[in-house]
């Protein structure tokens, strides 16, 4: 049994913490080599004491300085501590790592993911924004370096599991399931008045705040369509979305012969995380066995794109390609922040995304710098629009 060295970027977030729970169950399979977070020094300190990584990184320099003081004061072995914007990218290419799990939030995942690929590491990708904004660069780099990019997103893990043993040519269609979020039955007129608190009450999944709001707008599913396009080399016409409120069927694959395979289970991220770590093997335990009699019935319906325009907007951005998906994603990130801060109303999120997409002049096949510039432009425009929306 080989012991593999793991680096986790975003270790203090929801996926990062659940990844450490999986690793804890398989101490003879994985050793934690590096941990990185944005600024949660206290959570990271606790993780350092439990997992003894060689190196840690905090993107926020002040938090890194505080962590350094705390560790030196406490005595015992002190890991290398990296701080600042480039720290995550440096840790992503840390010598001796076998796998890098990327679970940071938003487009901040792009540079560290590319660095991990260039260093030849297997990448377990929980951050969908990386493929949304720079899918063409990530897939090209992975192909050039012969590196596997394994999905951690539950839907894509489901698709990946269903595809095992079949050639890509046999794939006809991917069907991503969506829970529909907390506002699945909320009438259009009432969406003007829903609060951030209500948006954060997801019926099935416990996740970070950004992705939970994205689930409420269905933007999350739009981002996932683009993610599926890049991960599985599927045309946008080959990726469908169906609303499935129980979140038991995690996604489906239809083959050329008409056969449809699905992966089922209780909604629990521990399984997709564990599968990325164990691939191509399957390791025992970790999730509660599925009891279909207890579930009773499963429901499916078409998504309501009139009430949830973020879904078609994201798919449109994916089809246009170039810098458009990065612009769409950046506008959404800013709009979601403004909504969480109570500055704009729920329907403003889609309006901001739509208007910024309309204003954007697309660059085809952009370089990383061009993606970064388009992202920055969209953030400035979205901030300006959010401020306008918040005026009475």
> Toward Mg ion, which CB reaches closer, 15 or 114?
15
> Toward Mg ion, which CB reaches closer, 277 or 372?
277
> Toward Mg ion, which CB reaches closer, 18 or 154?
154
Query: What is the closest distance, in whole angstroms, from the C-beta atom of residue 339 to Mg ion in the complex?
Result: 20
Q: How many of the other CB atoms lie within 10 Å of CB of 69?
A: 10
> Toward Mg ion, which CB reaches closer, 44 or 211?
211
> Toward Mg ion, which CB reaches closer, 52 or 201?
201
> Toward Mg ion, which CB reaches closer, 214 or 375?
214
132 Cα distance to chain centroid:
10
Residue length of the chain:
392
For residues 100 to 139, the per-residue mask of contacts with Mg ion, x marking binding by CB under 5 A and - elsewhere, is: ----------------------------------------
The tokens for 294 are: 């207890």
Query: What is the closest distance, in whole angstroms, from the C-beta atom of residue 154 to Mg ion in the complex?
Result: 5
Query: What is the closest distance, in whole angstroms, from the C-beta atom of residue 227 to Mg ion in the complex?
Result: 9
Query: What is the closest distance, in whole angstroms, from the C-beta atom of residue 224 to Mg ion in the complex?
Result: 6
Query: What is the closest distance, in whole angstroms, from the C-beta atom of residue 329 to Mg ion in the complex?
Result: 15
Residue nearest to Mg ion (CB): 153
The upper half-sphere exposure of residue 68, i.e. CA atoms within 13 Å in the direction of its Cβ, equals 12
Rule CB under 5 A: choose which of 60, 153, 254, 381 binds Mg ion: 153
Query: What is the closest distance, in whole angstroms, from the C-beta atom of residue 153 to Mg ion in the complex?
Result: 4
What residues from 71 to 100 belong to the interface with Mg ion (CB under 5 A)? none
Query: What is the closest distance, in whole angstroms, from the C-beta atom of residue 2 to Mg ion in the complex?
Result: 30
> Toward Mg ion, which CB reaches closer, 154 or 323?
154
> Toward Mg ion, which CB reaches closer, 54 or 274?
274
**Taking Cα atoms as reference points, which of 156, 108, 109, 117 lies closest to residue 138?**
117
Rule CB under 5 A: choose which of 20, 124, 131, 155 binds Mg ion: 155
Query: What is the closest distance, in whole angstroms, from the C-beta atom of residue 126 to Mg ion in the complex?
Result: 9
Determine the interface stretch with Mg ion among 148-156, 183-191, 278-286, 349-357 (rule: CB under 5 A): 148-156
> Toward Mg ion, which CB reaches closer, 153 or 254?
153
Size of the site for Mg ion (CB under 5 A): 3
CB-based contact 256:170 (threshold 8 Å): yes
Query: What is the closest distance, in whole angstroms, from the C-beta atom of residue 229 to Mg ion in the complex?
Result: 15
Determine the interface stretch with Mg ion among 55-63, 74-82, 146-154, 344-352 (rule: CB under 5 A): 146-154
Query: What is the closest distance, in whole angstroms, from the C-beta atom of residue 173 to Mg ion in the complex?
Result: 18
Convert the chain into a string of H (helix), E (strand) and C (coil).
Answer: CCCEEEEEECCCCHHHHHHHHHHHHCCCCEEEEEEEECCCHHHHHHHHHHHCCCEEEECCHHHHHHHHHHHHHHCCCCCEEEECCCHHHHHHCCCCCCEEEECCCHHHHHHHHHHHHHCCCEEEECCHHHHHHHHHHHHHHHHHHCCCEEECCHHHHHHHHHHCCCCHHHEEEEEEEECCCCCCCCCHHHHHHCCHHHHCCCCCCCCCHHHHHHHHHCHHHHHHHHHHHHHHCCCHHHEEEEECCCCCEEEEEEECCCCEEEEECCCCCHHHHHHHHHCCCCCCCCCCCCCHHHHCCCCCECCCCCCCCHHHHHHHHHHHCCCHHHHHHHHHHHHHHHHHCCCCCHHHHHHHHHHHHHHCCCCCCCCHHHHHHHHHHHHHHHHHHHHHHHCC
> Toward Mg ion, which CB reaches closer, 125 or 134?
125
Determine the interface stretch with Mg ion among 6-14, 79-87, 155-163, 191-199 (rule: CB under 5 A): 155-163
By CB under 5 A, tell whether 268 contacts Mg ion.
no
Residues that bind Mg ion (CB under 5 A): 153-155
């Amino acid at each position: 049994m080989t012991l593999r060295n793991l680096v986790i970027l975003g270790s203090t977030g929801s996926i990062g913490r659940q990844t450490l729970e999986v690793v804890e169950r398989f101490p003879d399979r994985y050793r934690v080599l590096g941990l990185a977070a944005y600024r949660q020094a206290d959570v990271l300190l606790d993780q350092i004491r439990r997992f003894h990584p060689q190196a840690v990184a905090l993107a926020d320099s002040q938090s890194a300085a505080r962590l350094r003081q705390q560790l030196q004061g406490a005595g015992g072995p002190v890991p290398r501590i990296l701080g600042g914007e480039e720290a995550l990218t440096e840790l992503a290419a840390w010598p001796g790592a076998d796998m890098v799990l990327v679970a940071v939030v938003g487009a901040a995942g792009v540079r560290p993911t590319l660095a991990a690929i260039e260093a030849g590491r297997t990448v377990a990708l929980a951050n969908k924004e990386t493929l949304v904004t720079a899918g063409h660069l990530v897939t090209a780099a992975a192909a050039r370096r012969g590196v596997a990019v394994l999905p951690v997103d539950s839907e894509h893990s489901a698709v990946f599991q269903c595809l095992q043993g079949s050639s890509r040519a046999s794939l006809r269609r991917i069907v991503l399931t969506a829970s529909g979020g907390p506002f699945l039955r909320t009438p259009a007129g009432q969406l003007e008045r829903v609060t951030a608190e209500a948006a954060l009450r997801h019926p099935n999944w416990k996740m970070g705040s950004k992705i939970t709001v994205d689930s409420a707008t269905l933007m999350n599913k739009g981002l996932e369509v683009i993610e599926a396009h890049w991960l599985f080399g599927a045309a946008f016409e080959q990726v469908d979305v169906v609303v499935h409120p129980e979140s038991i069927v995690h996604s489906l694959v239809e083959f050329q012969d008409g056969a449809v395979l699905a992966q089922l289970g209780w909604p629990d991220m521990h399984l997709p995380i564990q599968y990325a770590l164990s691939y191509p093997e399957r390791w025992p335990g970790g999730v509660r066995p599925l009891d279909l009699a207890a579930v009773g019935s499963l429901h499916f319906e078409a998504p309501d794109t009139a009430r949830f325009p973020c879904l078609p907007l994201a798919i449109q951005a994916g089809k246009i390609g170039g810098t458009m998906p990065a612009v769409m994603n950046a506008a959404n990130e800013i709009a979601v922040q403004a909504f969480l801060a109570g500055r704009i109303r729920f329907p403003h999120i889609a309006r901001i995304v739509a208007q910024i997409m309309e204003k954007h002049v697309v660059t085809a096949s952009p370089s990383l710098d061009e993606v970064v510039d388009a992202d920055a432009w969209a953030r400035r425009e979205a901030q300006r629009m959010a401020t306008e929306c918040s005026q009475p």
